[in-house]
Amino acid sequence: MTPNNHETTPPAGLPYSGGDDGEKTQPPISALRFDTPHALYQGMPQLSRLVQNRPQEQEDGLAFLMRLRASTTPEDAVTFTAFAAQPKMAVWWGYECMRLAADLISEDDRRLMELVATWTTYPDDENRFRAARMALYAPVRSPAVFLGLAVAWSGGAIAPNDPAPVPEHRAPRAINSAVLSCLSKAGLSDRPVRLARFIDLAAPLFRTY
């Protein structure tokens, strides 16, 4: 089964686009780590090393996302989303981006994509460890492997016998690498269209339902 055909239920709070009940939503929860981009930059200073543009103090997330999209470096919208969203939401978004680019995903990555999809729907430690093992032992750091690493670093112990905490910036950096490396596999003429679609997928994370 290819990633493009592997349907997943989005995390709670986001609309589900599949099936006859596509207009329904699950109970809302916050999709974002912080209330504003300004607070995000204060709380996760690693982001400021990757994105040159800075949010205004009262600027909301969707407005800043659109400003990044219209900037000379629209890829910064990807980086901002990877850091702004809660880990589970961000992994789900990264997975959906890669589904849109399924033609760029290798056969070797499809099994890992399925493990990531399973974790977004059933985010327990068993599913997280399963995705983590496959990603950590992968011979190549492909887009799917970066996404699997994001699952591994999304919270909790990285392994049953390793209780050491994982720095909170590790997961968003891996998600950023997953989406941007996936984008880089597209032809130059196709990248702007794919990037626009990735940002369109990110926008609902910054809206209130």
Rounded to 5 degrees, what are φ and ψ at 175?
-65, -45
- pLDDT tens digits, 35-74: 999 999 999 999 999 999 999 999 999 999 999 999 999 9
**What is the reported pLDDT for 11?**
54
**What is the reported pLDDT for 20?**
39
**What is the reported pLDDT for 7?**
43
Task: Give the Cα separation of 189 and 179 in Å (integer).
Answer: 17
- Could you tell me if 128 and 151 are in contact, meaning their C-beta atoms sit under 8 angstroms apart? yes
Name the residue type at position 35. D
Sole residue written with tokens 């009262």 = 58
The structure's pTM equals 0.84
Enter the tokens of residue 33.
Answer: 């780590």
**What is the reported pLDDT for 2?**
37
Q: Cβ of 118: how many Cβ atoms within 10 Å? A: 19
Weakly modelled stretches of the chain, pLDDT under 50: 1-9, 12-28
CB within 8 A of 70, min separation 6: which ones? none
Task: Give the Cα separation of 131 and 95 in Å (integer).
Answer: 13
**What is the reported pLDDT for 8?**
46
**What is the reported pLDDT for 157?**
72
Q: Cβ of 152: how many Cβ atoms within 10 Å? A: 25
